[in-house]
Structure 1
Amino acid sequence: MAQFDVYPNPSKQTKKHYPYLLDIQSPYISDITTRIVIPLGYAALFKYEAMTILTPEISFEDDLLLLLTPQISSVPAKILKEPIGSLSHFREKIINSLDFAVAGI
């Protein structure tokens, strides 16, 4: 598992709104059984939650998504099967959203 890998959301209940989970966990803490993730939601469904820094728009698989940083959580690592892509090229946006959520900067 690599930082900024994208996984399909395995939840049947939530995947129609949140199709992907973004693994943001540092590679330095890979020995624990959970992974820290941020859901990616369809931008059209979350237009009232859009905030440039906190919930940046991200394109993936021809979809316009929002990185829903306020919904950060951990999931058991075993539910994340195979990554389907990486958002490492959005690293700066992702880190900025976390900084804004935690420190307001």
Structure 2
Amino acid sequence: MAHLDVYLNRDARTSNSRPYVVELQSGLLDNLPTTVIAPLAKPQSVDRLSITRLNPGVNVKGTDLILLTQDLAAIPRSLLKSSVANLSPQRDEILAAMDFLFTGF
């Protein structure tokens, strides 16, 4: 598993509005049983004001999505199957969003 890999959201309750999740945890910690992820949501499903710096836009397989940084979660690594994309080209924006979440800057 690689940092910023994107996976299908397999949760039937949320997968329609949040079709993917992105792994945010460093690949150096792959031997831990859990990993930190954040959902990637369809813009029309976000019913609150999107803060661009906190919620950068990304594109996965031709679909525009919003990273919901504030909805971080730790999940069992075993729930993630094959990655479908990688957001490394947007690494700086994603790390800035996490920094903004935790430090306000």
TM range (shorter): over 0.9
Looking at structure 2, the residues matched to 6 and 27 of structure 1 have their Cα atoms a distance apart, in angstroms, of 13
CA contact 1:59–1:65 (8 Å) conserved in 2: yes
- Equivalent in the alignment of 2:102: 102
The unaligned stretches of length 5 or more in structure 2 are none
- Equivalent in the alignment of 1:49: 49
The unaligned stretches of length 5 or more in structure 1 are none
The correspondence of residues 1-105 of structure 1 with structure 2, limited to 5 A, is 1-46=1-46, 48-105=48-105
Regions of 4+ moved over 4 Å? none
CA contact 1:49–1:55 (8 Å) conserved in 2: no
Aligned length: 105
Letter of the 2:9 counterpart: N
Looking at structure 2, the residues matched to 93 and 75 of structure 1 have their Cα atoms a distance apart, in angstroms, of 23
Looking at structure 2, the residues matched to 47 and 61 of structure 1 have their Cα atoms a distance apart, in angstroms, of 23
TM-score (norm 1): 0.95
- Give me the identity figure in percent: 30
TM-score (norm 2): 0.95
Looking at structure 2, the residues matched to 48 and 35 of structure 1 have their Cα atoms a distance apart, in angstroms, of 26
CA RMSD of aligned residues (A): 1.0
Task: Report the secondary structure of 1:49's partner residue.
Answer: coil
Task: Report the secondary structure of 2:95's partner residue.
Answer: helix
Task: Report the secondary structure of 1:2's partner residue.
Answer: coil
